[in-house]
Amino acid sequence: MVSFWSFLLSYPEVFLAIACFFCLSLFRLVRHCHKSDLPVNWPVIGMLPFLVRNLYQIHDSVTDMLREAGCTFRIIGPWFLNMSFLATCDPATVNHCFNTNFNNYPKGSEFAEMFDILGDGLLVADSASWEYQRRVAMQVFASRAFRSFSMSTITRKAGTVLLPFLDHMAKHGSQVELEGIFMRFSLDVSYSTVFATDLDCLSVSHPIPAFGQATKEVEEGMLFRHVVPPSLWKLLRMLKVGSEKKMADARVVIDKFIYEEIAKWKAQANKECQGDVLSMYMNWPMDPSMSEQQKTLFLRDTVVGFIFAGKDLIAVTLTWFFYMMCKHPHVEAKILEEIKALQSTTWPGNLSVFECDNLRPATYLQAALLETLR
């Protein structure tokens, strides 16, 4: 027996091969006997094999897992990475966390650090700060001036930017990635809604502006932070390499654009509210104890959060909506039949424009959008 252990110690590669053989055999045995959609919690590595094996179909796999688990399940990562989390699709649980008992579930400092690009804005704020920012945002976004301005901005951008861009691509027989087009369009709309100025993200003769490229780098960096251990991305941030280096450079570009827009607004003679986010917040009575620098930083964090939230929400929803329409042409036909029956006004270029009130009877369209969001 002693000679056997001496042999293994003399040839560690043999010991490693035997250990790997037993681990793989155990993995195959459990996989063969385990007929459930729930992942196996392995020693040391947790449920990492389940995530890696189903990475190409992660949405379907997680859906099956939650269905069998009763809508809520704790996913355990490798013990040394501290990446365990709770997944849920139960409406009652979501309502409990985000509505009835929201104050009992703060986002926390780790969340704020991961989304440090957003500063102390509404998306990362907690407690009193969140309450104040939410109250202001609700009043701003519910105002008639903002709703009118945002509606006219979307209509103008769709008629003068998006459709001409798609027409140009169609005439030249160019292939386009719909998600990328909607991302650029929604960034254009968000920027114009915030600053009342055009970013021109969908120009056929100019490349994507530096601001647009910077937002893309930031989103990729934040996604990277979600899928790797915190210690890894913090190390990259400290060394200023990889995705963290790109994020830092992108933040400089974003801040440059935003602070220039704020300074431009302060320098203009007419400081009346135009309906855009910046002018409405500029005219909002802020805390008198705040210094000018604090007010500027508050504005910066507010508009950054709005741009990122608005851009992604519009783009992802539109992309999935048209994808679902392509998969279900009978639904598309019913929606077209429904909106053709509604009263509309005409935009230059024979573009039909629908007001929000005109679309209230379009129940089939609303149902399709809700299903897309789900």
pLDDT tens digits along 331-342 = 999 998 888 887
**Residue 353's pLDDT band (cuts 50, 70, 90):** confident
User: Which amino acid is located at 207 in the chain?
Assistant: P
pLDDT tens digits along 11-31 = 666 667 766 666 666 666 555
Q: What is the dihedral of CA 40, 43, 44, 48, to 10 degrees?
A: -10
- The residues, ordered by sequence, that sit 6+ positions from 211 with a Cβ below 8 Å of its Cβ are 191, 199, 253, 254, 257
pLDDT tens digits along 184-223 = 999 999 999 999 898 888 877 777 889 999 999 999 999 8
**Residue 171: pLDDT over 80:** yes
Q: Which two tokens stand for residue 41?
A: 């919690």
Q: Which residue matches tokens 């629908």?
A: 354
Which of 314-318, 347-351, 357-361 is the most confident on average? Answer: 314-318
Q: What is the mean pLDDT of residues 161-169?
A: 89
Measured distance CA(362)–CA(341) in Å, rounded: 9
**Residue 10: pLDDT over 70:** no
Measured distance CA(369)–CA(374) in Å, rounded: 9
Question: What pLDDT, on the 0 to 100 scale, is given for residue 99?
Answer: 85
**Residue 33: pLDDT over 70:** no
Topology annotation, domain 127-315: Cytochrome p450 (1.10.630)
**pTM for this predicted structure:** 0.80
Do 148 and 277 touch, CB atoms closer than 8 A? no
**Nearest alpha-carbon partner for 186 in 354, 321, 45:** 321
Question: What pLDDT, on the 0 to 100 scale, is given for residue 311?
Answer: 84
**Residue 364: pLDDT over 60:** yes
pLDDT tens digits along 39-53 = 888 887 888 888 888
pLDDT tens digits along 280-328 = 998 888 888 888 898 899 999 999 999 998 888 888 899 999 999 999 9
Question: What pLDDT, on the 0 to 100 scale, is given for residue 327?
Answer: 93
Question: What pLDDT, on the 0 to 100 scale, is given for residue 259?
Answer: 94
Domain boundary assignment for the chain? 16-105, 127-315, 328-374
